[in-house]
């Protein structure tokens, strides 16, 4: 991979839970099995503006975190709506022929005639399916990650080939 992503966004923090500084965690993937207990996390509005914290308690079932040093509801409120990132090393290991959606960021996207559509800037996790946010020049395209559209992914070469359906772009 040409550009390794070291921090992975897992979700956002919600409202405080009770009065002792506990905070609700809203994962992007509700089926995530990653435990945050006794792990370092990074919080911020985006990757350019993150700060490291330590999770001293995590209720996996209820998705409630206890961040070290956050002992009041008033302090917990300041963390609401912050994005939560983790070190990539905390992700479960996968086979060499698999990838995480985060790995698609930075891939070049081409249509069937090898015409470049753009570069993947983000991946949205939506209820119906995941969606690639692809940018070229000042234009942004939303490409659904479905079999009818995405035909080929080479994560090592950072290439995605798609078929453009009518009305897609």
Indicate whether 2 pLDDT > 50: no
What is the average pLDDT across 26-54? 90
The residue among 46, 61, 90 that closes a domain is 90
CATH of the domain at 107: 2.30.30.240
Q: Specify whether 11 is located in the same domain as 74.
A: yes
What is the average pLDDT across 141-152? 96
Domain range for 156 is: 101-162
For residue 45, which phi and psi values (nearest 5 degrees)? -80, -30
Q: Do strands 40-44 and 83-87 pair parallel, antiparallel, or not at all (unpaired)?
A: antiparallel
110-121 pLDDT tens trace: 998 899 999 999
Of the candidate ranges 3-7, 51-55, 58-62, 87-91, the one whose mean pLDDT is the lowest: 3-7
* % of the chain surpassing 70 pLDDT: 97
Indicate whether 3 pLDDT > 80: no
Q: Are 143 and 131 in contact (CB under 8 A)?
A: yes
> How many angstroms separate the Cα of 79 from the Cα of each of 44, 63, 65, 164?
9, 15, 11, 41
Structurally, the chain folds into a number of domains equal to: 2
The per-residue pLDDT for 142 is 95
The 3-class secondary structure across 24-83, one letter per residue, is EEEECCCCCCCCCCCCEEEEECCCCCEEEEEEEEEECCCCEEEECCCCCHHHHHCCCCCE
CATH of the domain at 63: 2.40.30.60
pTM: 0.75
Q: Specify whether 86 is located in the same domain as 108.
A: no
The residue among 90, 115, 131 that closes a domain is 90
Distance CA 118, CA 126 (A): 21
């Amino acid at each position: 991979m040409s550009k390794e992503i070291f921090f992975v966004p897992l979700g956002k923090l919600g409202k405080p839970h009770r009065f002792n500084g506990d905070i609700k965690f809203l994962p992007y993937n509700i089926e995530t099995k990653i435990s945050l207990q006794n792990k370092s996390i990074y919080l911020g509005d985006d990757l350019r503006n993150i700060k490291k914290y330590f999770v001293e308690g995590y209720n996996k079932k209820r998705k409630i975190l206890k961040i070290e040093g956050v002992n009041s509801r008033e302090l917990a409120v300041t963390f609401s709506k912050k994005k939560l990132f983790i070190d990539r090393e905390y992700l479960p290991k996968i086979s060499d022929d698999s990838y995480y959606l985060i790995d698609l960021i930075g891939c070049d996207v081409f249509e069937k005639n090898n015409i470049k559509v753009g570069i993947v800037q983000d991946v949205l996790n939506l209820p119906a399916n995941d969606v690639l946010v692809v940018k070229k020049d000042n234009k942004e395209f939303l490409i659904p990650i479905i079999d009818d559209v995405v035909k080929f992914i080479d994560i090592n070469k950072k290439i995605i080939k798609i078929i453009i359906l009518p009305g897609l772009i």
